[in-house]
Amino acid sequence: MPTEIYTNIINQINMILASVTQIKQIIASPSTKLTKYPGAIFFPANWQNDPETNKENLKFYRFKLWVVVGVNQTNINQVFTSTLPKAVDAVLAAFDSGWSLTSINSHRVWQRIDSGDWGLSQTDQAMEAYAEFNIEVKMLTNN
């Protein structure tokens, strides 16, 4: 059975996000607040195991990712027409060009990143605009 699967995937996501100059802070936890914008928050969402054949399983490791911009820095219109789209485009380009994790413990790995909702979030401290993503990492393993 492969070990440190999540660690390898988290390290890969961190490395890709760190390469995006538009992203000023990266958090790999659902409970830590951003202090620099644009920022990225990601963490594991769920896991699924689908037996492909009697010899192989296709495993899905899913993560949530949010690209977040503080609205207090600028106006809402600029956030949704310029600041957030530029950060999102840079993150998508980084995943397209930077994903290098093709295997974990000799098991083949693929990744896919899909869009979720865009929106606004209000807290006592600030208003934030966000773009949500679903990252899915597939791995083919032996039974």
Express each pLDDT in 69-126 by its tens digit. 988 756 888 999 999 999 999 999 999 998 988 888 888 889 999 999 999 998 777 8
Tokens 């689908």 locate to 50
For the chain, the domains span 5-22+35-142
pLDDT at position 74 is 64
Looking at residue 114, its pLDDT comes to: 93
Indicate if the pLDDT at residue 143 is higher than 70: no
**N-to-C CA span, the chain:** 9
- Look at residue 43 in the predicted model and tell me its pLDDT: 96
Q: 58 to each of 10, 25, 52, 83, 136, how far by Cα in Å? A: 19, 33, 6, 38, 12
In 10 A of CB 143, how many CB atoms?
Answer: 9
- Please say if the pLDDT value at position 2 is more than 50: no
Would you state the pLDDT for residue 51? 79
Given pLDDT bands bounded at 50, 70 and 90, which one contains residue 3? low
Each residue's pLDDT tens digit, 36-63: 999 999 999 999 988 777 778 889 999 9
Write down the pTM of the prediction.
0.89
pLDDT at site 13:
96
User: d(Cα 17, Cα 14) in Å, to the nearest integer?
Assistant: 5
CATH number corresponding to 5-22+35-142? 3.30.2000.30
Answer with the residue of higher pLDDT: 45 or 33.
45
